[in-house]
């Protein structure tokens, strides 16, 4: 009986979690005139015109492509930079290691708003404004420290004897690192990639500041449209639903590692 | 684990150092530069020393934003932490139910932050939103619900959105902490005839100490930096009632182009965050030690 009450409460919570998303789905399947004229708990005459518009109008669908490009770029960059550094932090004692680690973490905590102005100027100076690489690089500010932090946790779980044995067997460091060590922590790499993807995907402030048209992601397109075109709720909702899809797919792929990633508490 | 002492490890850290330095140190120096000058245009700036800092430290709007920020972040902790623990305790331990719960919980975390705002606008609008229409049809409020109408309504909407968005993170962390408790502890408690409260108080809560510390500090820090969600939902209004530090800063910097004051504000803001960050780091180190000795 007690278990049932508990399950019931949990189901109620999940319902609360789902309802706002359902409501957006409901809106996305109705035309704007329909939304404004009648209040309805479910879409009575379903239309896909909002989605069709998103997929056929370049200003909308290019937003998704741009976002996917810089998010993937950022994930790859973060991992490439963070893997050797995390190895250094987990294996070596060196001058200033503690301070360096703390300094990296402060960047995870830094308010993005603080960096807004100088970023625009910095990236203008190096001619990177409105490119995917600019946003990917800017997101490294918080994703690289995060990646180092998560990977260091996974690497510290691998006994050092493995490294020693490999070096005695005549492995060079790069060969050992790429062919032996990284496969050992592939779950950690997956979890790290998940979090890098997540934080780059959800971020708005940098993505909006550093892009104009060529690399403008969907989140920026959406904020501009809210103020610009007298609020087409159906279209906005359809875009909102579509931004959830990549995240949901990624969650599905890492669902078995998710708990372990959070267990390290390094988010 | 005993570590090798070798300063050559710096070569492995160097790429990270370079990329983060490019993203953090150069911009920060630019901010310091702005904060000490009055800028009229390109190549036309006057050194003004600490004037902007004095101005910002006595700025009542900044004080108000800081006050609101503290109230907001405290409320966030008071609601999300207990709720998160309860959800984690109620979640199934294995089987498809556990997977389904994890996936459901993770969904709000992967929605872009301004889309979270959009979801809640659509959900709470008094004309088209389920929540807005629902609450107004009950006729309980003297002024019909509309999150743009009254500061209190805006705050309720904002808190609902924040709790909706981030409680899953707390729940996931707590759940991970609970999963790490060996089954033997529960068996021992069962033999002793411990009540479920005693199991919670003397087994689960102490074992969750590590993840709870992280959850509390993460939620504190991240709610302190909140920008996109209130920006999308209320835009800081009505009036300035939901203008938090980041929103005020962006208004100051890009809305009014007050570069000097905005830069001084940035540095003050950054120092406050840095202080929290230091406390966070110390707490984390101590948590690690506590687990090793016990």
Delimit the domains of chain A by residue range: 1-47, 56-263
Does the distance separating the beta carbons of B9 and A91 come in below 8 Å? Answer: yes
- A256 in B contact zone (CB under 8 Å): yes
Rounded-to-integer distance, Cα A100 and Cα B183, Å: 39
Q: What is the DSSP letter of B149?
A: T
Rg (CA), chain A: 23
Does the distance separating the beta carbons of A36 and B127 come in below 8 Å? Answer: yes
Contact B178, B208 (CB under 8 A): yes
User: For chain B, how many residues are written?
Assistant: 294
- A14 in B contact zone (CB under 8 Å): yes
| Residues whose CB is less than 8 angstroms from the CB of residue A72 and which lie 6 or more positions away in sequence, other chains included | none
Interface test with A, best of B14, B80, B101, B128 (most A CBs within 10 A): B128
Instruction: Give the distance, in angstroms, between the CA of residue A66 and the centroid of all CA atoms in the same chain.
Output: 14
Contact A86, A151 (CB under 8 A): yes
A123-130 own/partner pairs: CB under 8 Å, 24+ apart: A123/A210, A128/A210, A129/A210, A129/A211, A129/A212, A130/A210, A130/A211, A130/A212, A130/A213, A130/A214, A130/A215, A130/A216
- A140 in B contact zone (CB under 8 Å): yes
Q: Where are chain B's structural domains?
A: 60-293
- A258 in B contact zone (CB under 8 Å): yes
**B142 to chain A, closest Cα gap in Å:** 22
Q: What is the DSSP letter of B110?
A: G
The DSSP secondary structure of B161-193, one letter per residue, reads HHHHHHHHHHHHHHHHHHHTS-HHHHHHHHHTT
pLDDT of amino acid B292: 43
- The token pair at B263 is 């830069």
A8 upstream amide cis, omega within 30 of 0: no
Does the distance separating the beta carbons of B108 and A262 come in below 8 Å? Answer: no
Instruction: Report chain B residues whose CB lies below 8 A from the CB of A251.
Output: 103, 106-107, 110
In this structure, the number of other CB atoms found within 10 A of the CB of residue A176 comes to 18
Averaged pLDDT, groups of 10, chain A, 267 residues long: 77 91 88 77 81 85 90 94 92 86 82 80 85 90 88 84 89 89 85 86 86 82 63 82 86 72 54
Rounded-to-integer distance, Cα B269 and Cα A110, Å: 9
Does the distance separating the beta carbons of B30 and A201 come in below 8 Å? Answer: no
Residue of B186, B206, B237 lying closest to B68 (CA atoms):
B237
Rounded to 5 degrees, φ, ψ at B136 are -75, -30
Instruction: Report chain A residues whose CB lies below 8 A from the CB of B267.
Output: 114
pLDDT of amino acid B294: 36
Instruction: Report chain B residues whose CB lies below 8 A from the CB of A151.
Output: none
Rounded-to-integer distance, Cα B62 and Cα B55, Å: 10
Q: What's the start-to-end Cα distance of chain A, in Å? A: 36
Contact A111, B248 (CB under 8 A): no
Residue of B nearest to A97 (CA): B10
Rounded-to-integer distance, Cα A241 and Cα A238, Å: 5
- The token pair at B182 is 């060996």
For B37-141, strand residue ranges (E) read: 37-41, 44-47
B16-21 own/partner pairs: CB under 8 Å, 24+ apart: B16/A81, B16/A82, B16/A84, B16/A85, B16/A104, B16/A144, B16/A148, B17/A100, B19/A77, B19/A81, B19/A137, B19/A140, B19/A144, B20/A104, B20/A107, B20/A140, B20/A141, B20/A144, B20/A145
Rounded to 5 degrees, φ, ψ at A205 are -60, -55
Does the distance separating the beta carbons of B107 and A244 come in below 8 Å? Answer: yes
For chain B, strand residue ranges (E) read: 4-5, 37-41, 44-47
Residue with tokens 């540095």: B267
Listed as ranges, residues in chain B with pLDDT below 50 are 291-294
pLDDT of amino acid A267: 46
Interface test with A, best of B41, B110, B251, B264 (most A CBs within 10 A): B110
Residue of A131, A265, A114, A242 lying closest to A195 (CA atoms):
A265
pLDDT of amino acid A79: 94
Beta bridge partners of B37: B47
Beta bridge partners of B4: A92
Topology, domain A56-263: MetI-like fold (1.10.3720)
Residue of B113, B137, B127 lying closest to A35 (CA atoms):
B127
Interface of A with B in 21-40 (CB under 8 A): 21, 23-24, 27, 35-36, 39
* Kind plus residue range of the DSSP H or E element containing A92: strand A92-93
pLDDT of amino acid A263: 56
Instruction: Report chain A residues whose CB lies below 8 A from the CB of B23.
Output: 107, 115, 137-138, 140-141
**Architecture of the structural domain at B60-293:** Orthogonal Bundle (1.10)
Instruction: Report chain B residues whose CB lies below 8 A from the CB of A91.
Output: 3-4, 9
**B76 to chain A, closest Cα gap in Å:** 17
Residue of A201, A159, A210, A123 lying closest to B115 (CA atoms):
A201
Residue with tokens 């609360």: A16
Q: Which of B90, B99, B112 sits opposite A255 (nearest CB)?
A: B99
Q: What is the DSSP letter of A176?
A: I
Interface of A with B in 154-173 (CB under 8 A): 156, 159-160
Does the distance separating the beta carbons of B15 and A93 come in below 8 Å? Answer: no
Instruction: Report chain B residues whose CB lies below 8 A from the CB of A258.
Output: 102, 106, 172
Residue with tokens 């409105």: A130
Contact B217, B280 (CB under 8 A): yes
Let me know the angle formed at the C-alpha of A18 by A12 and A23, rounded to the nearest 5 degrees.
125
Does the distance separating the beta carbons of A260 and B107 come in below 8 Å? Answer: no
Max Cα-Cα span within chain A: 76
- A250 in B contact zone (CB under 8 Å): yes
Residue of B nearest to A253 (CA): B103
Residue of B nearest to A28 (CA): B122
Residue with tokens 């088209």: B128
**B143 to chain A, closest Cα gap in Å:** 21
Instruction: Report chain A residues whose CB lies below 8 A from the CB of B173.
Output: 262, 265, 267
Instruction: Report chain A residues whose CB lies below 8 A from the CB of B25.
Output: none
**B249 to chain A, closest Cα gap in Å:** 7
Rounded-to-integer distance, Cα A128 and Cα A138, Å: 11
- Burial class from Cβ neighbours inside 10 Å (0-12, 13-18, 19+) for residue B46 reads exposed
Rounded-to-integer distance, Cα A114 and Cα B34, Å: 12
Rounded-to-integer distance, Cα B184 and Cα A186, Å: 30
Rounded-to-integer distance, Cα B108 and Cα B113, Å: 9
Rounded-to-integer distance, Cα B56 and Cα B261, Å: 6
Residue of B155, B108, B253 lying closest to A24 (CA atoms):
B108
**B50 to chain A, closest Cα gap in Å:** 18
pLDDT of amino acid A27: 85
């Amino acid at each position: 009986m007690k278990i049932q009450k508990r399950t019931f409460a949990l189901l109620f919570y999940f319902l609360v979690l789902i309802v706002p998303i359902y409501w957006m789905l409901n809106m996305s399947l109705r035309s704007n005139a329909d939304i404004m004229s009648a209040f309805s708990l479910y879409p009575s005459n379903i239309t896909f015109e909002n989605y069709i518009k998103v997929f056929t109008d370049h200003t909308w669908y290019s937003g998704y492509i741009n976002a996917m490009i810089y998010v993937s770029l950022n994930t790859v960059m973060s991992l490439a930079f963070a893997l050797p550094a995390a190895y250094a932090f987990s294996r070596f004692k060196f001058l200033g290691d503690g301070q360096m680690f703390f300094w990296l973490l402060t960047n995870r905590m830094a308010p993005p708003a603080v960096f807004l102005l100088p970023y625009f100027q910095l990236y203008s100076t190096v001619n990177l404004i409105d490119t995917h690489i600019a946003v990917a690089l800017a997101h490294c500010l918080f994703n690289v420290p995060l990646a180092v932090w998560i990977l260091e946790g996974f690497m510290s779980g691998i006994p050092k004897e493995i490294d020693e044995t490999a070096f005695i067997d005549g492995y060079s460091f790069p060969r050992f690192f790429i062919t032996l060590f990284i496969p050992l922590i592939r779950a950690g790499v997956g979890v790290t990639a998940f979090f890098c993807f997540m934080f780059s995907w959800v971020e708005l402030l940098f993505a909006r500041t550093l892009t104009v048209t060529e690399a403008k992601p969907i989140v920026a397109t959406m904020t501009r449209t809210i103020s610009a075109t007298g609020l087409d709720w159906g279209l906005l909702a359809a875009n909102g639903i579509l931004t959830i899809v990549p995240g949901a797919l990624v969650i599905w792929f890492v669902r078995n590692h998710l708990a372990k990633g959070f267990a390290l508490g390094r988010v | 684990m005993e570590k090798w002492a070798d300063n050559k490890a710096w070569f492995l850290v160097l790429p990270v150092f370079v990329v983060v330095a490019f993203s953090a140190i150069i911009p920060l120096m630019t901010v310091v530069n702005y904060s000490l000058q009055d800028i009229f245009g390109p190549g036309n700036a006057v050194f003004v020393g600490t004037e902007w800092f004095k101005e910002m430290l006595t700025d009542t709007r900044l004080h108000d934003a800081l006050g609101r920020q503290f109230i907001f972040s405290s409320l966030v902790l008071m609601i999300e932490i207990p709720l998160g623990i309860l959800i984690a305790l109620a979640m199934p331990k294995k089987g498809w139910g556990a997977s389904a719960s994890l996936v459901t919980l993770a969904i709000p975390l992967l929605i872009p932050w301004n889309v979270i705002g959009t979801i809640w606008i659509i959900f709470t609008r008094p004309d088209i939103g389920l929540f807005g229409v629902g609450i107004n049809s009950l006729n309980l409020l003297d002024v019909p619900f509309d999150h743009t109408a009254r500061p209190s309504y805006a705050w309720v909407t904002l808190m609902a959105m924040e709790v909706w968005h981030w409680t899953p993170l707390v729940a996931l962390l707590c759940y991970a902490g609970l999963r790490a408790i060996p089954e033997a502890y529960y068996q021992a408690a069962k033999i002793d005839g411990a009540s479920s409260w005693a199991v919670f108080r003397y087994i689960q809560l102490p074992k969750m100490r590590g993840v709870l510390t992280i959850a509390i500090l993460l939620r504190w820090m991240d709610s302190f930096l909140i920008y996109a969600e209130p920006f999308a939902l209320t835009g800081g209004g009505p009036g300035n009632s939901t203008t938090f530090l980041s929103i005020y800063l962006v208004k100051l910097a890009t809305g009014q182009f007050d570069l000097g004051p905005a830069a001084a504000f940035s540095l003050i803001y950054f120092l406050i965050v840095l202080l929290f960050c230091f406390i966070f780091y110390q707490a984390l180190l101590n948590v690690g030690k506590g687990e090793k000795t016990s």
